[in-house]
Amino acid sequence: MVGLPDRDRRLAHELSAGVLRGQVALDRELDIERADPRLHDILRLGAYQLRRLTRVPAHAAVSTSVALAREAVGEAAARYVNQALRRVAREDALAQPGSPDTHPPWLAARWRQRFGTEGTQRLMTWNDVRPPLTLQPARWDLATLRRTLVDAGVAVSEAPFGAGLRIGSGHPRALPGYEEGAFLVQDPAQALVVRFAAIPTGAAVYDACAAPGGKAVALATAGGGARVTAGDVRRERLDRLHHSVRRTGVAVHSVAADLLAAPFRADSWAVVLVDAPCTATGSMAHHPDARWRLTPGAIGRIAQRQAALLDAAARLVRSGGLLVYATCSIEPEENERQVEEFLQRHPAFARRPVSGGVPAELLTSAGDFQSLPQRDGIDGAYAARLVRSA
């Protein structure tokens, strides 16, 4: 979507995200298995526009899809798409947000065991609606950012738990202050993880899985003045981190490094942050494709990698130092169970939460941070604060 005008970029995002959220219902309505596989995405895009995008006239949605089919496959395919979409236009509406069709059945069943029917319904409805855009101050303070946005006619409200500013509409690049690095786009859950971490003033921090850089920038801009080194094994994602660092003007050093083979000596860091790769079940509103890429077996495999990353991070933390483990998952295997197993393997570490960093209702009985979309109205995220005694 690079190079598209802002309006077209928003439409492209709405189309792709909407199709991913409603794919099961769309496929059933289109009887997709009967169609040439080369037409599947064309049919889904056309049907989604007919069902959900009132600003796109029905005739335009059909004619565009027919033209794409003709170009991709041929005249017979164009006729097939025309008939299929005209049938969709005459039939009942697509499944609504929160419908069981919008999530894999195994995942919905898993959540019902933990959250109950009502809680799972709220969670799936949250995932099926475009999430609000939340800004965190960077080069500008919160008051300046709010005042500038309001003066520009942008609808602004306080994010839940006072974690940033939510705006009514618009693309970040079009907002005043973007080019100046005034703000960072970051869900309240991620901002609250940084607050929960309570990094000591002036501490040297290794953000070991840093890209795209949101937490690294937030740590560097926080009042404590942390000295942040941001590392990531994925070089292509480091470009996004570099862009965020340059735009916001923070002092973050970056390295292309795999935590499992980090180029640092043991016991060398005061703080190591492991924002671990995860199933992203807490941020599916932002990443609707994640629900369809996830499989039941993937949770266990990802948890094994997380354990290896935690073990590698533990070696880097000096005596008296801090290890912060975080995910954007709501699955216990990746969160509290992961930490409990780590503490059994590494008795020199113990939980050490700091009171007052985040509201008490966001803390587990063990003192870890946990947000849940259906309960808190923000992304799902988890964090544990672990201190090494020796």
> DSSP assignment, residue 200?
P
Q: Which amino acid is residue 40, in one-letter code? A: H
344 alpha carbon, distance to own chain's centre:
30
Q: Which amino acid is residue 209, in one-letter code? A: C
CB-facing half-sphere around the CA of 6: CA atoms within 13 A: 7
- Which residues neighbour 202 within 8 Å (Cβ) at sequence distance 6 or greater? 224, 225, 226, 227
Sequential DSSP letters for 123-142: HHHHHTSPPPEEEEESSS-H
Question: In what helix (H) or strand (E) does residue 126 lie, and over which residues does it extend?
Answer: helix 105-127
List residues bridging with 184 in a β-sheet: 136
Question: In what helix (H) or strand (E) does residue 219 lie, and over which residues does it extend?
Answer: helix 214-221
> DSSP assignment, residue 363?
B
Q: Judging by DSSP bridges, how do beta strands 133-137 and 183-185 pair with one another?
A: antiparallel
Burial of 71 (0-12, 13-18, 19+ CB in 10 A): exposed
| Distance, CA of 82 to CA of 67 (rounded, Å) | 10
Q: How far is CA 385 from CA 172, 190, 322, 367, 389, in A?
A: 32, 15, 7, 9, 13
Among candidate residues 192, 222, 198, 219, the one with its CA nearest the CA of residue 208? 219
Among candidate residues 264, 275, 270, the one with its CA nearest the CA of residue 213? 275
328 annotated active-site:
yes
The structure tokens 């798409």 sit at: 81
Q: Choose the catalytic residue: 107, 314, 328, 372.
A: 328
Q: What is the token pair recorded at 116?
A: 């109950």
| Distance, CA of 160 to CA of 84 (rounded, Å) | 44
- Beta strands across the sheet bearing 156-158: 156-158, 165-167, 133-137, 183-185
The structure tokens 């090494």 sit at: 388
Q: Which residues are catalytic?
A: 328
